[in-house]
Amino acid sequence: MTTNVLAPETPTAPSSPARQRRGGRRGELGAVGLVLGAAVSVQFGSGLATLLFPQAGAAGMVALRLGVAAVLMLALCRPRLRGHSRADWLAVVGLGVVFAAMNSVFYQAIARIPLGPAVTLEVLGPLALSIVTARRRGTWLWALLALAGVALLGTGGYDRLNTPGVLLALAAGALWAAYILLSASVGNRFPGADGLALALGVAALLTLPVGVVTAGPALLHPVVLGLGFAVALLSSVLPYTFEMSALRRLPSSTFAVMMSLGPALACLAGFTVLGQSLNWVEALAVLLVIAASAGAVRSGRDRRANMKLDGKA
């Protein structure tokens, strides 16, 4: 008998009263806050990472980021290695492989094309996942609305982008979709962030040899190490922990729609922090993405409420 490694769309039903309270409206609002925090953290981390490309290269940066993140998470969590099933370990190893591939491919993409278009192309993966895994037309509607917003954010200039960079960003999007499914599974199989810590350890083992060979002594430069620590914290430790916690409270399809907030937040950050211009098309795109994310969360909540009513009937 084979065991399904991937978690279903809806998180595992809570068993304790505390978990039941966590699954209510307050829990959903908390999950939304975690997703927003993760998105903001990743944007800053990706920006910092590009500054290190001249010194460490994309492969070296991935190795440094995942290596530092693994050391931090393993030291903080000290996960238990015994008492897990074969399916549990398959989920962890699968997530670790996806971590290594997703980060490597994305960093190779932003080494060739600007960060904004790369993030916009990458988010197509989670949006496609939300359409495939959704079981209600309402979720499809919100996913398509988010897709329209992301498309508006990306209007113009794509024909001038480096073709390999575009393909790498799209591949990173496909890996991002796999990450969502596997992260939900690992989060349901392991307590706290134990599964995440183990998966990051697997990812570090896969990427460190390549990073050391390509970057060499540059990885040990004090400035590179310092910024690498910041990138590991902002791009791996914080967002992955936040997202795994959010996936325990939200369906995968709803979470995937909310990933479209990344490009929208990047656009808003450019407008509010950097003083970059925001035309009416971009403003409309941001509103569409925000509306789609709010609608997806509301739709998921209504569906679970209906399921509870049906169960009581």
Q: What is the DSSP string of 81-109?
A: -SS--HHHHHHHHHHHHHHHHHHHHHHHH
Q: Quick one: average pLDDT of 234-251?
A: 89
Mean pLDDT of 112-119: 80
Q: d(Cα 38, Cα 189) in Å, to the nearest integer?
A: 22
Nearest to 257 by CA among 146, 173, 153: 146
The answer to whether residue 120 scores a pLDDT higher than 90 is no
Position 5 scores a pLDDT of 42
**pLDDT tens, position by position, 74-100:** 999 999 888 889 999 999 999 999 999
pLDDT at 195 over 60: yes
> Is residue 104 predicted with pLDDT exceeding 90?
yes
**pLDDT band at residue 309, thresholds of 50, 70 and 90?**
very low
List, for residues 130-171, the tens digit of each pLDDT value.
777 767 677 778 778 877 877 776 665 566 778 899 899 999
Q: How far apart are CA 74 and CA 4, in angstroms?
A: 26
Read off the pTM.
Answer: 0.77
pLDDT exceeds 60 at position 264: yes
Is the pLDDT score of 290 beyond 80? Answer: no
Long-range contacts of 281-284 (CB under 8 A, 24+ apart): 281/152, 281/155, 282/152, 282/153, 284/149, 284/152
Over the chain, what is the mean pLDDT? 79
